[in-house]
Each structure stands twice: as structure tokens, then as C-alpha cells.
Amino acid sequence: MNPIEQPESDLIIEAAYVIPVAPGERVLKDHAVIVNNKRITSIVPSSHISDRRARRKIRLSNHVLMPGFVNAHSHISMSLFRGLADDIPLQEWLETRIWPLESKYVDREFVRDGAMLALAEMISTGTTCFADMYFFADEVAGVASKSHIRAQLASPVLDFPTVWAQNADEYINKATQIHDDYRSSDLISTAFGPHAPYTVSDEPLTRIAALAEELDVPIHMHLHENAQEIIDAETTDGRRPLKRLQDLGIVSPRLLCVHATQLLSEEIALLATQGASVVHCPSSNMKLASGFCEVDQLLKRGVNVALGTDGAASNNDLDMFGEMHMMAMIAKAVANDAAAVNAQQALEIATLNGAMALGLDSEIGSIEIGKYADVCAVSLAPLSTTPVNNPLSHLVYASNGSYVSHVWVGGTPLLTDGELQTLDLALIRERATYWQGQFSRQ
């Protein structure tokens, strides 16, 4: 080999703009990302790659290359329930619609088909990693592995029986089994998913805290979802839910607090001191009228804030562009400050902060040398992103999931020119139509 000749790379992606997310607020014009063995090895100006050889090389002359979204909270198989429980508050939504539907329909087949539908939607809109809390997590793991998307599966834990398990011990044992089964996977990680303070008693929570420490995994939990949850907790227990979790030793860097509305100033201080993360689900919060998450205050006081779609039964889509846009708008209104949660912060929340919440920030969440090549390309050709005065602004304030043209996870293509590469779209539509027919008979 010629001394100055570069070795062949696995993949070179050249784009009009690269927005790495970290470090700092940067927009790299006419740059290329070079990938070898699943990871990013170089980020260089396009002028530097004319003599670089690669097994695959792609030029995206009117695109932004950005880290793939990290959807930090979802119930992906509930996509099959989309549109069946609209325009009602949380408790009614759960007790009169969702729990009866789950009791009647949820089984392994339902979870597998719902997961395929959701993964197709998420990949098509730029998500490369998701955190999920739902039954039959082993089925979701199988679908995610075959689709080559990255996932963290928070196996649910409750006190009462469901189709997945009969009691808290069985839920916990199944969670640890999935952890063991995927211990060596570079795509699938696991977490404990105690559903909520009002559905899990003290003894299982204490056991989960100890096991999470032993296995070095997160604890993913709905918390302070609405005002009624807090009122009920104070009535029955005399403590707000977060205080109870603090007393049980649950509040730590491992804890993902999903929703986190109605937070008091001292509770924000506690989350910051203990290093817990908040997962904000703005669309679901708004649709169920659950309340507001104080994103600006959380960020200013040092709390890591991530972004999630929640499930499509309460959102009703899994497009992280829409979620990011809504988060930024609501944050400004809640803070009464147009400067609250700027475009850079919004993109960080939707990518790197999500990776941090999942404990994966050393591997994903930004375009940095050494990290997995989990990236997506977003077209700037649509009228809403014309002219390209500020590509970072356009991502947050003017784009949507339909602008995503390409997605890679670990350098493997999952979406190419808008076409899914690892999922059978015809089969997904067929199975969704089957379930629609089942629901129409109820």
C-alpha cells in the first residue's frame, strides 16, 4: 500500500451539513462522517475524502446529518390501540379503555405485531434508539434485534396479575431473565420498569433498587404523571410520590422519572442532587391534560431531561420531530420566556440527553469519534426548510419525520431513500389491518 493511501472504510456519509450535537453548538458545513466496525472513526471536511475508499459511500447534497433520536419512553406495541382511547383524562383512559383492551387482546402475537408497526414508524422518522415499557419484553427484544434498531427494554413490574406475570416476584424474575439473555448484545439493553408508585408497593421497589445496583441497569418509572396521582398518594400515604421513592432509596442516577409534572422546587433540587433523569412526554401530557413539566427550570438547576413519545394510544404518533417541536414551544410558554429551551438544547434533549438517561451516552447520542454510527439524514429540500438560513433551527422548528431520508444504526442502513431496509412494510400493514378487524368486533 502507498504510504499515504488511506485504508478502505466501511461507510462514508457526506452531507451538506453535519450537526454533531456534542461537543457544543456546531454546524459543520460540507463534512463527511467515516465509519468502521460500526463506529465513527473520523469527521472531516468533504474536501478531505476525495481519495478515501469505502465499501459504501453516499453523498447527501441537500441534507443535515444528525444523531438518531433517542425516544426515552414508549409503549410501542400500543400503536395498535391508536385512536381507541381519545379525549379522556388519564384515570378514565387507563381504567375504562386501556386496561380492558389489554385484558382482552394483549398476547405475544399482539406485542410482536404492534412492535413491528411501531419500529417501522420510528425508523422512518429518525429514531435509532428507544426505551420501552410493556408486556412480553422478550418479544420486543426479538423484533428490535431483527430490525437492527437499538432498544432498552424496561420490563414492567406491578403488584397485580396481568397476561405477562402474576405477581411482583414473577415480573422481577422475568426482567432479570431478559437481562441475562441479552447481556452480550450491543443493540439490546434492559432496565427495571416498576409501573408507577400507585401500582407497586414498597417491598418490590426495595428489591428493584438492590437488583438495579447489582446488575448496573436503570429504573424506568412513571412518576408524578398528574395532580390526582399526588393527591391520592398524600391521602393514602401522607407523602408525595417522589418523597416515598426517596425514603425507599430509589432516587438515584439510575432513576428515569417519566412525566414528572407538578414538581415542587425542593423536588427539582432533589432530582438534581441525586442525579436522576426526567423523561418529558409533552404530547401525551397535553392530550391527557396531565399537567406541565418544568423543563426550563429542570435544565437550569442541572437535571438531565430526556424526551419520549409515550405510546401511540395517548400521543398518537411516534414522530420525535413533532415531540421535540412541541417540547420547545411548551417550555417557552410555561417559563414565560422566549429564550427558554433553545434549538440546541431541544436537539440535545432529544438525542444525547436521552442516551444519558439510559446510561448509553458513551456509546450513542451524538456524532463523535468512537461512538456507534447511529445517525439519520434529514432533507432540507421541503419548502418549510427553505431557504437554509439556519439548519439547526430548521430541525427543531420547521421539520417533521417525513423529511428523514436515511437512517443507520451502527453503520447498518435501516432506511435508504425513505425505504425500510430491515422490516417488511406489506406484512406490517397486513397485521395492523387484522387487528383493526378484531377491535371492530368488540
206-264, pLDDT tens digit by residue? Answer: 999 999 999 999 999 999 999 999 999 999 999 999 999 999 999 999 999 999 999 99
Q: Where in the chain is the domain with CATH 3.20.20.140?
A: 69-357
Report percent pLDDT > 90 for the chain: 94
DSSP 8-class letter at 98 = I
98 contact partners, CB below 8 Å, separation of at least 6: 78, 81, 85, 313
Give the model's pLDDT for residue 90. Answer: 87
Report percent pLDDT > 70 for the chain: 98
Q: Which CATH superfamily is domain 69-357 in?
A: Metal-dependent hydrolases (3.20.20.140)
> Residue 202's CB: how many other CB atoms inside 10 A?
12
Residue 107 pLDDT more than 60?
yes
Structure pTM?
Answer: 0.96
DSSP 8-class letter at 94 = I
- What average pLDDT does the segment 385-390 reach? 98
* Confidence band of 3 (pLDDT split at 50, 70, 90): very low
Q: Where in the chain is the domain with CATH 2.30.40.10?
A: 9-67+365-410
What are the pLDDT digits (tens) for 11-22? 999 999 999 999
Q: Say if residues 64 and 19 touch (Cβ distance below 8 Å).
A: yes
Round to whole Å and give the CA distance between 388 and 139: 42
Give the model's pLDDT for residue 24. Answer: 84
Q: Which CATH superfamily is domain 9-67+365-410 in?
A: Urease, subunit C, domain 1 (2.30.40.10)
* Confidence band of 2 (pLDDT split at 50, 70, 90): very low
Give the model's pLDDT for residue 51. Answer: 84
Q: Please give the angle made by the CA atoms of 27, 377 and 132, to the nearest 5 degrees.
A: 105
Pick the closest to residue 373 from 414, 416, 423, 345 (CA basis): 414
Residue 396 pLDDT more than 80?
yes
Residue 237 C-alpha cell reads as 400515604
Round to whole Å and give the CA distance between 278 and 426: 37
- What average pLDDT does the segment 296-322 reach? 97
- What average pLDDT does the segment 343-358 reach? 98
